[in-house]
Amino acid sequence: MSADNMKLTLKIWRQKSANAKGHFDTHTLEGVTSHMSFLEMLDVLNEQIINEQKEPVAFEHDCREGICGTCSLVINGYPHGPQQGTTTCQLHMRHFNDGDTITIEPWRSSAFPVVKDLVVNRDAFDRIIQAGGYISANTGQAQDGNAIPIEKDQANEAMDAATCIGCGACVAACPNASAMLFTSAKVSHLALMPQGEVEASQRAIRMVEQHDAEGFGRCSNITACEAECPKEISVEHIARLNREYLSASVGSKK
């Protein structure tokens, strides 16, 4: 059988609701091509399931361009699959082989309750942002882009942190289900910019407190979060979060 006509065995987590007992369903799918994205392969599977007059698999997606983070799946034990620096929607079937068995699960964290099948509720991330991931700004016309000089390396580092798409792969990868990489990225990109100074004395404390209140675990420096992050966010931002938290705790901004 050619690489453009693969036959796969799919073991997919099915769960009707957060309180329902889940289980794995096994499906055989033929005619998978190497040019398909992983989500396109799931679309084909759902067409097959619908033709069998069964309920299709619920999975989440939006942009399918690797920038929104909603396509979050654990594939063969890896958040977003085996290809590093890649979201599920940008993972292509050429990274799998004819005859493979692929196990597909949702994120596993009590802070991300299952909505249905492969879809989880990640509202906890929104509440962490609401706790302090913002800046105070007067309304009115936008300030000129050159009005506040910012050192280039500092701006680049802030933008590196801002590339976090909030998908939750860090939580899925962490044995403690910690969201410290996400939280630190959101703290870091604001801490590095002068516009973030107004809330600097409280931002880290408020966001970490909300992180803990949501039920995420503590960071134990395993660094699996960095390895599985599709945007390759560095754990160095967790070190900055710790500094920001300590400084805020003793009443100093820096």
Residue-wise pLDDT tens digits, 1-14: 445 789 999 999 99
Strand order in the sheet with 101-105: 23-32, 6-14, 101-105, 74-75, 78-79
The residue-averaged pLDDT of 37-42 equals 98
Higher pLDDT, 150 or 240: 240
Per-residue pLDDT at 252? 54
Mean pLDDT of the chain: 93
Q: Tell me the CA distances in angstroms from 241 to 115, 125, 161, 193, 228, one per residue in order.
A: 31, 16, 12, 14, 20
The residue among 134, 130, 110, 133 whose CA lies nearest residue 121 is: 110
Number of H helices, E strands in the chain: 8, 7
**Which residue did the predictor score with more confidence, 100 or 2?**
100
CA distance 179 to 168: 7
Beta bridge partners, 12, equal: 25, 104
Cβ-based neighbours of 166, under 8 Å, separated by 6 or more: 69, 122, 125, 182
Using the predicted structure, report yes or no on whether residue 132 has a pLDDT greater than 60: yes
What confidence category does residue 149 fall into, taking pLDDT thresholds of 50, 70 and 90? confident
- As a whole number, mean pLDDT of residues 159-183 equals 97
Please give the pLDDT value at position 1: 41
| Residue 23 in tokens | 């289980």
pTM score = 0.92
Q: Which amino acid is located at 231 in the chain? A: K
- Residue 153, pLDDT > 80, answer yes
Which CATH superfamily, name and number, covers 122-249? Alpha-helical ferredoxin (1.10.1060.10)
Average pLDDT over residues 184-188: 96
Quote the CA–CA distance of 28 and 48 in Å, as a whole number.
10
Map out the domains of the chain as residue ranges: 6-115, 122-249
The angle that helices 203-213 and 236-249 make with each other, rounded to 10 degrees, is 110
Instruction: Give the burial class of 195: count Cβ atoms within 10 A of its Cβ; 0-12 exposed, 13-18 middle, 19 or more buried.
Output: middle
Report the CATH number of the 6-115 domain. Answer: 3.10.20.30
Is it true that 6-115 and 122-249 share their CATH fold? no
DSSP-derived secondary structure letter, 37: B
Highest mean pLDDT pick, 28-42, 127-141, 143-157: 28-42
What is the identity of the amino acid at 15?
A: Q
Average pLDDT over residues 190-214: 93
The predicted pLDDT at position 140 comes to 73
